[in-house]
Amino acid sequence: MKQIWDVDELAKHWSLKFEETRLLKTKPARNHLPFAVQLKFYQNTGRFPSTINEIPETPLHYLADQLDADVSGFRDYEWSGRTGARHRKEILNFLGIRRVSATDKHAFSDWLVNTLYPHGSDPADATEAAFGWFQQRQVECPADKELERLVRSSFQQFELHLYQRCADSLSTDSKMLMESSLSNDAEGVSFGDLKAGPGRTGLESVLKEVEKLNFIRSLHLPVDMFASFSTKVLQRYRQRANSESAWEMRQHPWTIRYGLYAVFLYSRQREIIDGLIELFIQIVHRLSARSERRLVKTLLADFQKVHGKTALLFRIAEAVLNNPEGLVKEVVYPVAGEDTLKSLLKEFKSSGPAYQQQVHKIIRSSYSNHYRRMLPKILDALTFCSGNSRHHPVLDALDWLKDHESSTQRYIQLEDSIPVEGVIQPKWHDIVIEEHQGEKRINRINYEICVMQALRNRLRSKEVWVVDADRYRNPDDDLPQDFDANREDYYRDLGQTTDATAFVSQLRDDMNAALEALNRDMPKNRKVKILSQGKNRGSAPISSKSPTFFRYYNLSSG
């Protein structure tokens, strides 16, 4: 039971009603407080306190004030004696609680196996939930040892049923492959390989991850069945299998071995797919980021910003028009020297279309010399989908690349019906699309790079999702499968209302209150400086005791 209670909670849960105080008239005054404590404790928890230390101090004093009783003599009460037992029996009779029967125990066990444990609860959770379950049915909760036996036997029954269900769903060929991977001299992918991480990023590690993925797929696991399992259940048995060696796995009875291994493989499949997607996203980002850093570093080495470019252009134009037949070094250099013109050219290259061309040139070089061997292996191992037709051009572009994977064609004619809109970013159009003999074409490698960048952006926003992934799964699967049927329960667990209007109204009130507090307190806050100009017009320095990743809080410049 929680230890901290506010005034409203005390009044609601610990106030004695008239009919409850009448029970105290036949008892000595010294027993009034212990009797009332046990009565209210049972009403709030569905059980009696096992020790006096379970009783919170605040509710105890709240009851004592109602009864005008002395708390100091509270510990002298015979909790485990005949008086305590008689009082507890009287409380149960008053509340209409009947003794537990074999039928009640069987119903409780069925509820654990079919309702509670499938949602990821463990025996400790079941013990806590038991008191409420029996109280709701006005049945006396079994004694501690009997309850523990019921909870653990039900959990064992749930586990055996889960293992059996998983094992029965596997084909004979799948079981043979699983046994082979558990052997000491496993050929191909072993249990140890499946447990291991990808290691250092490279073509070899990508191929190893793809090999693991292909092995798991060859088992034809019942994905739909596993998708119906609670995430907590999957995590529990995935961790259990991961903590064991191949030898320990072989010691289990075949039902447990296949069931435990199947859950582990299903979870690993999702993890491997997520890992490949993360690697793809990082590589594509690295291509652009590193290319820009390399180029900026080169440009900054000899970059000098030219000021007054408009006036300079006017003076050059005036000088050229006054002497159109003169030499450049005689007409232009006196107005704008050679060094000034070189700086002007470098400044243009660092910000104009030429800059983007150089960035793309470096990206192309990195991709074709290294990453082009790796990324297609990742894409071939994954199946991409989207529920929005707006993003289908990216999927169509992927299909085109896969269909022409073995082609040696260097250029693609735009008339070949390859997707362009939604695939090639506007800033790259003039760079990657070329004119050749009156026809537009695009270099094959340039197109691949554009497709990779478009796919990365859509994966990050989940506009494109991946079959059998976890983090990058279909967004429609983010909600629990039983959400519609148990919508009110989920909203209650989240502490939210199902009334959209009330939710928005509360959110608006909270935002208004926060903004008013900010507006009211900001002028008086000596730690905040608001400047009239500059990039960071508002900043609040944070002390050195604050987290190292957060040293300044920048305010909106409004």
Q: How confident is the model at residue 444 (pLDDT cuts 50, 70, 90)?
A: confident
Which of the given ranges, 58-67, 395-404, 406-415, 465-474, has the highest pLDDT on average?
Answer: 465-474
Burial class (CB in 10 A: 0-12, 13-18, 19+), 446: buried
Whether 528 and 538 have beta carbons less than 8 Å apart is answered as yes
Sign of the four-CA dihedral 54, 57, 58, 63:
positive
pLDDT digits (tens, 9 = 90+) for 157-214: 999 999 999 999 999 999 999 999 999 887 889 999 999 988 887 888 899 999 999 9
SS (H, E, C) 449-516: HHHHHHHHHHHHCCCCEECCCCCCCCHHHCCCCCCCCCHHHHHHHHCCCCCHHHHHHHHHHHHHHHHH
Burial class (CB in 10 A: 0-12, 13-18, 19+), 520: exposed
Whether 465 and 472 have beta carbons less than 8 Å apart is answered as yes
Instruction: Tell how far CA 363 is from the center of its chain.
Output: 31
- The answer as to whether 127 is a domain residue is yes
Q: Which structural domain, as residue segments, surrounds residue 28?
A: 7-159
- The answer as to whether 373 is a domain residue is no
> Who wins on pLDDT, 407 or 180?
180
What domain count does the chain have?
A: 5
d(CA 27, CA 41): 19
pLDDT for the residue 543: 55
Same domain, residue pair 445 and 403: yes
Enumerate residues 6+ apart whose C-beta is below 8 A from 434: 411, 440, 441, 442, 443
pLDDT for the residue 300: 41
Same domain, residue pair 426 and 533: no
- The answer as to whether 429 is a domain residue is yes
Largest CA distance in the chain: 125
pLDDT for the residue 171: 95
- The answer as to whether 505 is a domain residue is no
Residues forming a β-bridge with 436: 439
Name the residue among 419, 428, 389, 415 with its Cα closest to residue 401.
Answer: 419
Cα dihedral 348, 354, 359, 364, rounded to 10, equals: -170
Same domain, residue pair 521 and 460: no
Rg (C-alpha) for the chain, rounded Å, is 36
- The answer as to whether 437 is a domain residue is yes
What is the number of other CB atoms lying within 10 angstroms of the CB of residue 425?
Answer: 13
Cα dihedral 47, 48, 51, 52, rounded to 10, equals: 130
DSSP H or E stretch at residue 36: helix 32-45
Q: Which of 191-200, 335-344, 376-385 has the lowest mean pLDDT?
A: 335-344
Same domain, residue pair 188 and 216: yes
Which of the given ranges, 28-32, 264-268, 282-286, 332-336, has the highest pLDDT on average?
Answer: 264-268
Residues forming a β-bridge with 384: 466
Name the residue among 246, 267, 259, 262 with its Cα closest to residue 191.
Answer: 246
Same domain, residue pair 78 and 133: yes
Name the residue among 301, 428, 298, 293 with its Cα closest to residue 366.
Answer: 293
Looking at the predicted structure, is the pLDDT value of residue 354 above 80?
A: no
Q: The pTM is what?
A: 0.70
Same domain, residue pair 30 and 120: yes
pLDDT digits (tens, 9 = 90+) for 512-524: 999 998 888 888 8
- The answer as to whether 240 is a domain residue is yes
Looking at the predicted structure, is the pLDDT value of residue 345 above 70?
A: no
Q: Write down which residue in 433, 467, 501 finishes a domain.
A: 467
| 492-495 long-range Cβ contacts below 8 angstroms, 24+ apart | none
DSSP H or E stretch at residue 541: strand 538-541
DSSP H or E stretch at residue 212: helix 203-218
Burial class (CB in 10 A: 0-12, 13-18, 19+), 35: buried
Enumerate residues 6+ apart whose C-beta is below 8 A from 433: 414, 420, 424, 440, 441, 442
Enumerate residues 6+ apart whose C-beta is below 8 A from 15: 66
d(CA 359, CA 374): 21
Whether 441 and 416 have beta carbons less than 8 Å apart is answered as no
Alpha helices (H) in 219-307, listed in sequence order: 223-227, 231-242, 246-251, 254-301
Whether 436 and 468 have beta carbons less than 8 Å apart is answered as no
Tokens of 32: 């009034």
Same domain, residue pair 152 and 204: no
In the chain the first and final C-alpha atoms are separated, in Å, by 48
Sign of the four-CA dihedral 81, 86, 88, 89:
positive
Q: Write down which residue in 159, 182, 207 finishes a domain.
A: 159
Sign of the four-CA dihedral 283, 287, 289, 293:
positive
Same domain, residue pair 155 and 187: no
pLDDT digits (tens, 9 = 90+) for 291-330: 555 544 554 444 444 455 556 665 666 666 776 777 766 6
Q: Which residue's entry shows tokens 């769903």?
A: 169
> What is the number of alpha carbons within 13 Å of residue 367 lying toward its C-beta?
27
Which of the given ranges, 72-81, 114-123, 485-494, has the highest pLDDT on average?
Answer: 114-123
- The answer as to whether 74 is a domain residue is yes
d(CA 547, CA 533): 28
d(CA 471, CA 465): 9
Q: Write down which residue in 324, 349, 374 finishes a domain.
A: 349
Tokens of 544: 């050195």
Looking at the predicted structure, is the pLDDT value of residue 353 above 60?
A: no
Same domain, residue pair 257 and 319: no
Same domain, residue pair 155 and 56: yes
pLDDT for the residue 534: 60
Same domain, residue pair 104 and 194: no
Whether 310 and 322 have beta carbons less than 8 Å apart is answered as no
DSSP β-ladder status, 538-541 and 529-530? antiparallel
Q: Which residue's entry shows tokens 């109280």?
A: 135
Same domain, residue pair 147 and 221: no
How many residues does the structure list for the chain?
Answer: 558
- The answer as to whether 480 is a domain residue is no
Q: What is the mean pLDDT of residues 26-30?
A: 83
d(CA 314, CA 542): 49
